[in-house]
Structure 1
Amino acid sequence: MMTEGMFTNYFLPGIWITIQVTLYSAALGLVVAFAIGRLRASRLWIVRFLAGCYFEIFRGLSALILMFWLVFALPVMFRWQLVPLWAAVLALGLTYGAYGSEVVRGALAAVPAAQREAGIALGFTRFQRLRRIELPQAWPEMLPPFNNLLIELLKGSALVSTVTVADMTFAGNLVRLGSNESAPIYTLLLVLYFVMAFLLTRGMRLLERRAKANVGQGRLRASLAPREEAGEGHGALTAGGAR
């Protein structure tokens, strides 16, 4: 029978490992998503081709098999041993980053061309246009699909148990072997994953609301700016006429 000691000694450390794997993989995946997504819209065909190759390759790979390859095949082929935790993070981050790159590419492509043209007219560099015009408008559109990918990544983190990373699933299997009980162990795992996914969803939706509010405030300031300038000009003319 599962006891409080089993939960404290096995599940709590497993929860922390699951959180670490999810956060590290999400951070790596976010960097990969923005890099590949931006490169796939490059003006240079060779850059688009290489970024497209990465997208197609890692979208078509199994994260589990890539994990096995990094842990078991890489040391044999190149005599370079990765710690299983970091091999798992690398496999998940590279795989989910490929999916995220399509989100980034699509959201940036959805920004109206007139916005980019306005940035060019103002003399912005490509980086300035990306930072000041494109990303602020594309970011709120990226958050809902990023939320789905993050939840999938959390659930996919259970795969790391197959390469001896002591996450929640690994801990649950150990406790099941020690207690000979399957139903309560796997029911607890279902509840734990659901609670973590629910909390992530709440956090991402809060971030989405704030991002949309910031975009709305930015558009309001942009629409009021010409009116304020016109008002200042009218005031100056009135003052001039009074003189």
Structure 2
Amino acid sequence: MLADATYVARRLFLLGEWDAALDVLGPDRDPELRAEIAVDRWFFRIEGHEEAGKAVAALDPDSWTAHLLTGRLAYSRLQFQRDPRPDDRAVAEAHYLAAVECGDELQRGWAEYHWGVLLDNVDDDAAGALARYETALEIATKFGDGFFESYIIRHLAHFKEPTERIALLRRSLHLRAALGARPQTIAAQAVLAEDLPENDPDRAELIRTFRPGAEELRIGWLVSQN
């Protein structure tokens, strides 16, 4: 029964059905997955921060998952400007470093990626971010992890010339769609639409496509743009 509940929760998680996924798990099953879902819901909906924090606090503080999610919560408060704390920048980097050091190779790649996002979006440190992204991409490619790759190349795209940038954003979108990752696919449609020229017919179609999905899933930073 535990395996079944975890499987169903993961499938719901992939679809952006965060509340249903948490309900399936209940309060006691798979605390690491529960924390991951709660943090992901916060990132997409920009709601449920307190619940996400409690879920992370319930983990072994020395675990890779606890370090990564603690870093992500600190980063998100800065990026979203939602009650940022004075030490959030330092906390995020410290926990990403700890996640790099305590995880396996693929986990280290995810920590490198998130560290790159911090450098990119908070510090405007393009060189530092690019080095982290490239390290993460090497690991994602080695493991054939298309979902992970879709995250990295979506950020790497903005370091490239227009033609290559659009190609990377399209690949990110296609990877996510092929895996059935609905909230990530909607986000990728929005990012690609923003980067396409205004007279490109794909742009209008992408906007018509992503907006209803963003509203249904209540993706906060997309709904607010409509």
Which protein is richer in helix relative to its size? 1
Question: What TM-score range do you get, normalising by the shorter chain?
Answer: under 0.3
Structure possessing the higher relative contact order (Cα contacts under 8 Å, 6 or more residues apart): 1
Structure having the higher Rg: 1
TM-score of the two chains, using structure 2 as the length reference: 0.27
TM-score of the two chains, using structure 1 as the length reference: 0.25
